Chain A
Amino acid sequence: MSLERKDEHDHKGWMQERDLTPVESIYLTVLMWLDKRLRIVDYLEILENLYYKVNMQMPKSHTEQYNLDNKFWYWYPLYALGSFSTIAYVVAAVSGALLGFYYSPAAAGASGSPTVAYEQITFIMTDLNLGFFLRSLHRWSAQVMVAAVFLHMLRVYFTGAYKEPRELNWIIGIVLISLTMVFGYTGYLLPWDQLAFWAGQIGVEMALSVPVAGEWAAQLVFGGFTLTQSTLQRMYILHVFFLPFIATTVIAIHIGIVWMQGIAEPH
């Protein structure tokens, strides 16, 4: 993009007409010298112009068309929660992939010493450069994702955005919030410390309490009725292999449908 020169204003002549102190005339001369060479003002004006032109061409949203913005503006931050969950998911994916270079899901350990999994967590937290930061980032993005997904669901519910023709996407959203929680649970078990172990025990017992299919489900998900190496192994593969593929696909479909249908605007 090239800039056309504007008609030159006679700065020098103008400055001589005025009664300026030496400081003021030096100040103005320096700034004019810079302005002539760097032309930041011209580029800012192009941006300003572009901003208004783009805004003129945008179709009016429902709320603009019926002048409802003054009543609905306080809802708008809540319309960012879906994006917020997606961003948290991406951050968790990237930080998790990096953590994967250092973690190993082994419940074995010499008698009386911690398990390999727990020792790797200790290594990440105390010895690895930026390890504390990386694990904290992973943990916090996971927390944020669960919270944002839940609040996103509340927003969709209370604005009635689940209604026809968006029922299908609401169902997919329920699948997604479940996947998010399974993600959280499997990740919670990976440090294989006391917290993880007894959370796993609760999981096994919850599975076993289910009539008819309970024992089968406990075998499938936890690899037995007590917590062993196979429990940790299954949690690990669920967390880093199964769920990432499934969740990413379902998120893509979820967002794709929103894209096709447009967001449900408040009425």
Chain B
Amino acid sequence: MSEDPDSDAAGGGRDIAVPMELYKSITVFSTLFAVVFVLLAFVMFDAATLDRSFVRGLVQDAFGAVGLGVGGQPLTIAFALVGFAFLTTGSGIYIVGSRFRAEEMGNAKNEADET
């Protein structure tokens, strides 16, 4: 792998050069998804900790409508876990997106085809 011009172990992480067009889609969509997931995570944390949370009320009503009484404690734990899952997913999307760069960008000296 260290011989591959696409991967750059010296910089600490992988570094993959992609065409500019693809780089743009990666940047736009990964940022979009990362932001949405982090926001959703905060909504879930609210639902876990706030009694007046809209989402919490909605879920409680939904369970009540099908005849399932759900206690406060399990609901809190579930919301918290989902929140952490969303937060990790959002960060993950952003982190994976950050390893791509356009062909024109970055360290030219590490690129075999440009030396």
Q: Which residues of A contact B (CB under 8 A)?
A: 6, 9, 11, 14, 18-20, 23-24, 27-28, 31-32, 34-35, 40-41, 44-45
15 A–B contacts, CB within 8 A, in A order: A6-B21, A18-B6, A19-B6, A19-B7, A24-B16, A27-B96, A27-B97, A31-B30, A32-B25, A35-B25, A35-B28, A40-B29, A40-B32, A41-B21, A44-B28
- Are B96 and A41 interface neighbours, CB within 8 A? no
- Are A9 and B32 interface neighbours, CB within 8 A? no
CB distance from B36 to the nearest CB of A (A): 13
**Docked CA distance A15–B16 (Å):** 11
Contact status of A31 and B16, CB under 8 A, knowing A9-B22, A23-B96? no
Counting from the closest, the 5 A-B pairs by CB-CB distance are A35-B25, A41-B24, A31-B29, A41-B28, A41-B25
Tell me whether chain B's interface is mostly helix, strand or loop, or mixed. Answer: helix
Q: By CB atoms of chain A within 10 A, which of B19, B29, B30 has the most?
A: B29
**B105 touches A (CB below 8 Å):** no
**B4 touches A (CB below 8 Å):** yes
Q: By CB atoms of chain A within 10 A, which of B6, B21, B97 has the most?
A: B21
Q: Which residues of B contact A (CB under 8 A)?
A: 1, 4, 6-7, 16, 18-19, 21-22, 24-26, 28-30, 32, 96-97, 99
Residues of A within 8 A of B99 (CB): 24
Beyond contacts A9-B21, A19-B1, A19-B7: 20 other A-B pairs, Cβ-Cβ < 8 A, are: A6-B21, A9-B19, A9-B22, A18-B6, A19-B4, A19-B6, A20-B16, A24-B96, A28-B18, A28-B26, A31-B26, A31-B29, A31-B30, A32-B22, A35-B25, A35-B28, A35-B29, A41-B24, A44-B28, A45-B24
**Docked CA distance A44–B21 (Å):** 13
- Are A11 and B22 interface neighbours, CB within 8 A? yes
Residues of B within 8 A of A27 (CB): 96-97
**Docked CA distance A9–B102 (Å):** 14
**Docked CA distance A35–B97 (Å):** 14
Task: State the total of A-B contacts with C-beta under 8 angstroms.
Answer: 42
Across the two chains, which residue of chain B brings its CB closest to A39?
B25
Residues of B within 8 A of A20 (CB): 16
- Are A28 and B22 interface neighbours, CB within 8 A? yes
Residues of A within 8 A of B4 (CB): 19
Residues of A within 8 A of B25 (CB): 31-32, 34-35, 41
**Docked CA distance A34–B57 (Å):** 33
CB distance from B100 to the nearest CB of A (A): 8
CB distance from B59 to the nearest CB of A (A): 26
Residues of B within 8 A of A45 (CB): 24
**Docked CA distance A19–B19 (Å):** 15
CB distance from B101 to the nearest CB of A (A): 13
Residues of A within 8 A of B30 (CB): 31
Name A40's contact: one of B1, B16, B28 (CB within 8 Å).
Answer: B28
Residues of A within 8 A of B6 (CB): 18-19
CB distance from B71 to the nearest CB of A (A): 32
Q: By CB atoms of chain B within 10 A, which of A23, A32, A41 has the most?
A: A41
Residues of A within 8 A of B16 (CB): 18, 20, 24
Across the two chains, which residue of chain B brings its CB closest to A18?
B6
Across the two chains, which residue of chain B brings its CB closest to A11?
B22
Contact status of A14 and B96, CB under 8 A, knowing A19-B1, A41-B24? no
**Docked CA distance A19–B2 (Å):** 11
**Docked CA distance A19–B28 (Å):** 24
**Docked CA distance A28–B16 (Å):** 12
Across the two chains, which residue of chain B brings its CB closest to A35?
B25
